[in-house]
Structure 1
Amino acid sequence: MASDSGHDDAQYLAGSPVRIAILRALGRKPRRPASLTDAVDATRTTVQRILAGFRERQWVVKRGSTYHVTPTGERVHDAYEGLLSEIDRADRYGRFAADLERAGAGFPADGLETGDLTAATDRDPLAALDRVVELIRTIRGSDVRAVSPIVTTQYNEAAGAAIDEGSEIELIIDREVLETSVTEFGPATDRAISDEGATVYVSPDPIEYGLFRYDDVACVVAYDEHNNPRCVFESTDETVVRWADERFETLSAEAAPLSAVIQESSTTPE
């Protein structure tokens, strides 16, 4: 646990952008106050006051008229820059991570280290949906394992074209998606049952996020509370790929084949 003095020092450094700018500049090379004034665009008085604060905390030392950052000052600087990077990452991936956490997906935190994110925006609300459709259309014969909490005409058409080009698709949906498929997309549902290139399973529990695995790529689709796709995260990182494979295996182990579920529904008395 950090001490009170550590908390106070962190507040001191974060209290002014000029302070971190000076520490960053000294990390590059030792400087005199006049050189720092030009480098960070601050008055000489401000620079001298900050240098005094750094010396008090032993983050810098003075040799003659030149200031040098100490090893502890370097570590403080690196830790602060790391914090800023994490905050930037949280700002970019925050919605994706929040939607997955709300869905109970258990996405690994270190999975956000690498990957490309496509996010829906007010200007382009269909960006995530379009990206998923684009991915399905470009797999060109690769085997696919997928999980989806929705069914759309775009998904069905893209999947059908992929199967026609030699892909084999394993798909897990939930019962609500099945009901929508039977009611609104009868021909596509019939093909899912009869086509050897498609294997569909029905989960007994609601599904609230999407997965898409092909070759060495794992795609994770985050949906909002209204089941609108909001973010698509694509990665070849081993952590993400392993997580996606484990999630698919867990869901498929609890799911039943589509044909069996439909047959059961047709024989169940009203």
Structure 2
Amino acid sequence: MESALEEIEFLALSPNRVEVLTLLAEEPRTRRELAELTDASQPTLGRILGDFTERTWVVREGSDYVATATGQLVAAGFEDLLDVLDTEATLRGVVRWLPTEALDFDLRRLSSATVTTPSQVRPNAPVKRALDLLGEAEDVHIFSYAFNEQSLDVIHDRTAEGAQTFRGVFAASAIDALADDSQLRARLLELLETETVEIRITDEAVPLAATVADDTVHLFLRDDNGLLQASLDVTDEAVHGWATERFERYWDDATPLDPDDL
């Protein structure tokens, strides 16, 4: 373990070492090519290549430096470690609210996520982020335990304009909450009359409020008391595939919302 940590430290203390090893793991390169692709000076490159050769991470073949099998292994492993740490940095402030039991994909897929949290000047920032995505998307799928007034308004207006198709699966309690308000019930009935809109309800527990807006997946993050604490959105293909599959599963098991039931 100690020697492994020493090798990690050896790489981590020099961004140039990481960059050179990564470049050589991609393909053989000459010393001149490495100099052109990095900010390393010739003396620095000489030391790095010497250290890598000593560790048998690279060998020289003519004018090229080539990563060995173990050099490629180290490069891949260090890249994985960087991905993990990038993801941790992204999620550090919101991990306590992340519904990890429902997110059955590699969390490293969230390393590029946009995290939105409330602030004193923007207390509604997570909801505003969701509304912005809804206001731009042409195709929207939602599965959620809630359906708020602002989202209903944006979806109503976008679909009425013919600018959006919408399918939603909501917990029965979410629709009941809208139906209890006469104005929102009327708005929902208008929405159901739109040709590009389909809504279904489910009695199954829906642990997430997830929106698939074109290529973007958006999640609301709430605490144990149901209070909205943050949101995150990501365009990763694997996350999009997960959200689409989860939506279709809820959709297949749900019941079409009948206007007469409102």
TM bucket (normalised to shorter chain) is: 0.5 to 0.7
**Unpaired segments ≥5 residues, structure 2:** 24-30, 36-41, 60-64
Q: 1:138 aligns with which of 116, 136, 144?
A: 136
Structure 2 Cα separation of the partners of residues 207 and 150 of structure 1: 9
- 1:13 equivalent to 2:7? Answer yes
Alpha-carbon separation, structure 1, partners of 2:58 and 2:136: 55
Aligned equivalents of 1:136 and 1:22: distance in 2? 43
C-alpha RMSD of the superposition: 4.2
Kept in 2: contact 1:20–1:77 (CA 8 A)? no
Q: Separation in 2 of the partners of 1:257 and 1:223?
A: 27
Aligned match of 1:65: none
1:11 is displaced (CA, Å) by 1.2
Question: What is the DSSP-based 3-state SS (H/G/I as helix, E as strand, rest coil) of the residue aligned with 2:205?
Answer: coil
Q: Distance in 2 between matches of 1:171 and 1:236?
A: 21
Q: Which amino acid aligns with 1:196?
A: E
**Residue-pair matches, total:** 233
Q: Does 1:174 align with 2:174?
A: no
Matches within 5 A, 1:1-270: 7-15=1-9, 19-21=13-15, 23-24=17-18, 27=21, 35-36=43-44, 55=54, 58=56, 71=68, 72-73=70-71, 75-93=73-91, 95=94, 99-102=98-101, 104-106=102-104, 108-109=105-106, 112=109, 116-122=113-119, 124-139=122-137, 142-166=138-162, 167-183=164-180, 185-193=181-189, 195-197=192-194, 198-214=197-213, 216-225=214-223, 226-228=226-228, 230-235=230-235, 237=237, 239-259=238-258, 262=261
Structure 1 position 193, deviation (Å): 3.5
Percent identity reads 16
1:156/1:86 Cα in 2 relative to 1: closer, same or farther (>3 Å)?
same
Aligned partner of residue 199 in structure 1, secondary structure: strand
What is the CA distance between 1:207 and its match in structure 2? 1.8
1:22-51 Cα distance to aligned partner (Å, 9 max, x none): 7447647599xx9449x99xxxxxxxxxx6
The one-letter amino acid of 1:11's match is L
TM-superposition CA deviations, 1:236-257 (whole Å, max 9, x none): 62x3333222211211222223
Asked whether the 8 Å contact 2:12–2:18 carries over to 1, the reply is no
Q: Quick check: 1:23–1:69 contact (8 Å CA) kept in 2?
A: no
SS in 1 for 2:4: helix
CA separation of 1:98/1:58 partners in 2, compared to 1, >3 Å: closer, same or farther?
Answer: farther
Instruction: Determine which structure has more spread, i.e. the larger CA radius of gyration.
Output: 1
Q: Which residue of 1 aligns with 2:28?
A: none
Whole-Å separation in 1 of the counterparts to 2:130 and 2:76: 38
Q: Mark the CA change 1:25 to 1:178 in structure 2 (over 3 Å): closer, same or farther.
A: closer
Alpha-carbon offset, residue 125 of structure 1: 4.6
By how many angstroms is 1:133 displaced? Answer: 0.6
Partner letter of residue 203 of structure 2? P
Q: 1:73 to 1:165 in 2, by over 3 A?
A: same
If the length of structure 2 is used for normalisation, what is the TM-score?
0.67
